[in-house]
């Protein structure tokens, strides 16, 4: 070897030695720490991890034929590891036939692959490692697909079960029985049938429905803000007292979801709601809505003329201490206006 060639060989050997040392983890690195050439590193690693002799051969064969593959680990990586052990046996002078390695793979399959195990062992064709690996991977994909389908069905079943359990709990809460209508789920003081019957008997006299001292529903009071332009504002304020003036006035309310009135005698057409509906007021309480109809009103126009107007779809709410015009309903043209002056 020429001096130039030797120098080049030494440089490449140092580079290979450095690559091997940088690749190793702490434990194998400690065994080759004092090596000087790449060949020395490789020899020391081979003797330590590949081994020679009967003990190494017995250990590798035992690993091949006594191990059991795991369901929660990818089958391909586990089967490739078995094939690698067979290659190590070949390297140390104990080669095994490919069909023998294939049998070792089959008998190592977990119990979830028992059907495939039976099919492969009963096959007339000679087993090969490639054929076994392909069949195992197909079975693995099939099991994952079935598992996802079963999981989806279980989740849907649990969701339906929870819904039934919740509905059952709601049913258990209905323990109270009304002494007026004999139905479960409420008491007489909030019975809609009683409120409807009382309202139908005497539409405007709400004091007969409930003793005055026990009345706790919201009442309405109107506050006017002085000013010439724009016109005075009307504010609808909920309070626990009754202002008789508001029972005769109409209040434009942006918070009301529909037109409502407490004046039964104002209705020109009226239809009783059976069963009664309910409306939720500001404090969270619900009050009954017992009917619906139309109310005729007169509007004073510019110049002092009067125009007849029909408010459609007005709900009769006896417990409401006021009359509300819904802004959203006005925006949908819920008024029928006869234009012109009645006196002209």
Paired tokens of 141: 């994909």
The per-residue pLDDT for range 74-110, each reduced to its tens digit, is 999 999 988 888 888 888 788 889 999 999 999 999 9
Find the length of the chain: 344
- Contact call for residues 297 and 311 (beta carbons, < 8 A): yes
Residue 135 in this model has a pLDDT that exceeds 50: yes
pTM for this structure? 0.34
Give the confidence band of 166 by pLDDT, cuts at 50, 70, 90. low
User: Which residue is listed with tokens 């290979």?
Assistant: 16
d(CA 317, CA 195): 10
Q: Which residues have a Cβ under 8 Å from the Cβ of 116 and sit 6 or more positions away?
A: 109, 135, 136, 139
Q: Residue 147: is its pLDDT beyond 80?
A: no
pLDDT of residue 222: 37
What average pLDDT does range 150-161 have in this prediction?
65
Give mean pLDDT, residues 25-49: 84
Q: What is the pLDDT of residue 163?
A: 57
Q: d(Cα 103, Cα 321) in Å, to the nearest integer? A: 90
């Amino acid at each position: 070897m020429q001096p130039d060639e030797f120098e080049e060989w030494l440089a490449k050997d140092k580079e290979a030695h450095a690559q091997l040392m940088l690749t190793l983890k702490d434990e194998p690195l400690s065994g080759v720490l004092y090596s000087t050439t790449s060949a020395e590193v490789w020899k020391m690693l081979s003797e330590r991890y590949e081994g020679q002799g009967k003990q190494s051969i017995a250990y590798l064969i035992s690993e091949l034929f006594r191990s059991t593959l795991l369901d929660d680990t990818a089958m391909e990586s586990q089967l490739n590891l078995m094939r690698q052990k067979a290659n190590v046996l070949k390297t140390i002078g104990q080669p095994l036939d490919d069909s023998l390695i294939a049998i070792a793979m089959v008998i190592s399959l977990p119990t979830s692959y028992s059907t495939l195990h039976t099919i492969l062992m009963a096959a007339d064709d000679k087993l090969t490692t490639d054929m076994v690996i392909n069949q195992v991977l197909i079975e693995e994909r099939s099991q994952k697909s079935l598992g996802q389908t079963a999981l989806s069905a279980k989740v849907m079943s649990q969701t339906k079960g929870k819904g039934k359990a919740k509905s059952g709990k709601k049913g258990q809460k209905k323990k109270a029985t009304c002494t007026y209508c004999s139905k479960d789920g409420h008491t007489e003081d909030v019975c809609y049938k009683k409120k409807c019957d009382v309202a139908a008997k005497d539409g405007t006299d709400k004091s007969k429905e409930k003793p005055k001292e026990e009345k706790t529903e919201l009442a309405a009071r109107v506050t006017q803000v002085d000013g010439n332009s724009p016109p005075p504002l009307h504010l609808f304020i909920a309070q626990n007292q009754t202002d008789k003036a508001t029972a005769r006035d109409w209040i434009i309310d942006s918070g009301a979801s529909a037109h409502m009135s407490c004046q039964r005698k104002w209705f020109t057409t009226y239809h009783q709601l059976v069963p009664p509906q309910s409306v939720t007021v500001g404090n969270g309480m619900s009050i009954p809505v017992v009917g619906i109809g139309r109310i005729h009103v007169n509007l004073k126009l510019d110049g002092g003329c009067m125009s007849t107007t029909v408010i459609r779809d007005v709900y009769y709410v006896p417990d409401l201490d006021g009359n509300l015009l819904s802004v959203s309903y006005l925006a949908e043209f819920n008024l029928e206006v006869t234009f012109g002056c009645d006196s002209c």
